[in-house]
Amino acid sequence: MKQIAVLLLLTFGVHFPTMAQEDAVAETNLKVGDVAPDFTLLSDKWEKVKLSDFRDKKNVILAFYVLAFTGG
């Protein structure tokens, strides 16, 4: 199983960077001053992370990337 997983990773790692992409930017309507929509998501350590937990404590940079292993 492990070997298959490694093979899959390698395969995707090789092919995804060459994928055809549309040039248009998917523009968000969110603007400076808007309240950031709250969310709870699982981290890479399988822990729940909630945006509003950082309220009054930290500024948060949300870095949305296309896919892991693609340099995106």
Partner 1 sequence: MAKLEASDTIVLGISIDSPAANAAFAKQIGVTFPLLSDMNKEVLTAYQILKPYDVKGGKYEWAQRTTIVVDKEGKIQHVEQGDSAVNPNSAVSVCTTLHKSKD
Residues that bind partner 1 (CB under 8 A): 9, 16, 19-22, 24-39, 41-47, 49, 51-52, 54-69, 72
Tell the smallest beta-carbon distance from residue 56 to partner 1 (Å): 5
Long-range contacts of 36-44 (CB under 8 A, 24+ apart): 36/60, 36/62
CB 38 within 8 A of CB 31: no
Q: CA 50, 65, 13 angle in degrees (round to 5)?
A: 125
Tell the smallest beta-carbon distance from residue 51 to partner 1 (Å): 7
Tell the smallest beta-carbon distance from residue 54 to partner 1 (Å): 7
Shorter beta-carbon distance to partner 1: residue 4 or 56: 56
